[in-house]
């Protein structure tokens, strides 16, 4: 049992965490070491299933995470992208997660409706990540256990409508009755407090954690993020109706040039946006190439340090923001 945290929300209650923070799945990077570090830091993270080509390799990673997390909660991300994934192994993944005693699943991409009977039947709780309030309403109606609404500032896939996180937060809090997380540009504890004030139950964080020591990517990659500002990301793949916010680099510029000239020509774009190219960038630290998902909260990344230290800073910043608010109270 973890020590009580400073905030008790429906998110901390759902996941059994100290803080209402979710470390969202990161393609290629969210492995057992990183996710277990999140668990031990009092938040929850998700191993990204799509990072493992073989089911048995994923099984081994889940077992490793069980050992490293020492009983603290963690989950697995099932990303079901609608167009660019050739094979469909999601049913086999669900079976594996149930067999391995995974208690929490983060889904994104397509509707999780077909997965819910099996997952809920095994007692697995499902967090579904969506880009708009419209999608959140649908997910709630389907019976997911929690929903994360992602704003335009997010790295990865922020959707087509590109509604800002602040607007998303206020709108979603009016209509969503299940535990609600807000993501997109979240990189500080003050933003966590703001999300709670707007009516959310917690936040989902990706980019800000990329400079954690437990992220296996090359140090040169992390150093590039430390040098980046909020304006160093860009949008690509809009012509494919699969918008990606990524680091501004040679690949992003080339993709945008093709999209301007040829529209959504997937065959021209695939040699640039293939996942193996991004993985190579993480391995070598050469950030010129690859569609490298990155959100505007990269501006908050200021040092390479253990994930627990970043989480501690989130907590301290949130409490400092709360104290500032208390100081603004008018005395009657």
pLDDT by 10s per residue, the chain, length 332: 457 889 999 999 999 999 999 998 898 999 999 999 999 999 999 999 999 999 999 999 999 999 999 999 999 999 876 544 445 788 999 999 999 999 999 999 889 999 999 999 999 999 999 999 999 999 999 999 999 999 999 999 998 999 999 999 999 999 999 999 999 999 999 999 999 999 999 999 999 999 999 999 999 999 999 999 999 999 999 999 899 999 999 999 999 999 999 988 999 999 999 888 999 999 999 999 999 999 999 999 999 999 999 999 999 999 999 999 999 988 76
Q: 314 with 189: CB under 8 angstroms? A: yes
Residue 83 covered by a domain: yes
Query: 145 and 127 in one domain?
Result: yes
Domain count, the chain: 2
| CATH number of the domain encompassing residue 191 | 3.20.20.70
Query: 155 and 17 in one domain?
Result: yes
Residue 2 covered by a domain: no
Query: 245 and 164 in one domain?
Result: no
Query: 149 and 120 in one domain?
Result: yes
**Other beta carbons less than 10 A from residue 174's beta carbon:** 9
Q: How far apart are CA 138 and CA 301, in angstroms?
A: 34
Q: How far apart are CA 43 and CA 35, in angstroms?
A: 9
- Residue 68 tokens, joined: 């490293």
Query: 95 and 71 in one domain?
Result: yes
Query: 254 and 158 in one domain?
Result: no
- pTM, two decimals, is 0.94
Residue 64 covered by a domain: yes
- Residue 283 tokens, joined: 């391995």
Query: 232 and 198 in one domain?
Result: no
Q: Structural domain of residue 266, as residue ranges?
A: 219-284
């Amino acid at each position: 049992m973890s020590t009580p945290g400073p905030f008790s929300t429906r998110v901390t209650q759902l996941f059994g965490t100290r803080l209402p923070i979710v470390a969202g799945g990161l393609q290629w990077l969210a492995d057992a070491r990183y996710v277990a570090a999140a668990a031990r830091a009092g938040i929850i993270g998700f191993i990204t299933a799509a990072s493992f080509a073989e089911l048995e390799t994923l099984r081994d990673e889940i077992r490793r995470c069980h050992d490293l997390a020492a009983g603290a909660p963690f989950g697995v991300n099932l990303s079901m992208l609608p167009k660019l994934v050739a094979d469909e192994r999601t049913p086999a993944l669900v079976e594996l997660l149930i067999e391995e005693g995974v208690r929490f699943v983060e889904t994104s991409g397509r509707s999780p409706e077909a997965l819910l009977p099996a997952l809920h039947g095994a007692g697995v709780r499902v967090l579904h990540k969506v880009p708009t309030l419209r999608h959140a309403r649908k997910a709630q109606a389907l019976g997911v256990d929690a929903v994360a609404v992602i704003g335009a500032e997010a790295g990865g896939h922020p959707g087509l409508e590109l509604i800002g996180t602040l607007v998303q937060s206020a709108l979603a809090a009016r209509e969503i009755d299940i535990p609600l997380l807000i993501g997109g540009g979240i990189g500080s504890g003050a933003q966590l407090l703001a999300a709670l004030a707007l009516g959310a139950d917690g936040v989902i964080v990706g980019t800000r954690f990329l400079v954690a020591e437990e992220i296996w990517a090359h140090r040169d990659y992390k150093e590039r993020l430390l040098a980046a500002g909020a304006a160093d990301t860009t949008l690509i793949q809009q012509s494919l109706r699969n918008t990606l916010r990524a680091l501004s680099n040679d690949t992003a510029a080339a993709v945008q040039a093709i999209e301007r000239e040829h529209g959504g020509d997937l065959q021209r774009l695939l040699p640039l946006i293939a996942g193996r190219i991004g993985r190579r960038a993480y391995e070598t630290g050469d950030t010129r190439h690859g569609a490298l998902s990155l959100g505007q909260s990269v501006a908050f990344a200021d040092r390479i340090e253990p994930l627990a230290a970043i989480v501690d800073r989130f907590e301290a910043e949130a409490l400092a923001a709360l104290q500032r608010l208390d100081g603004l109270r008018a005395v009657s």
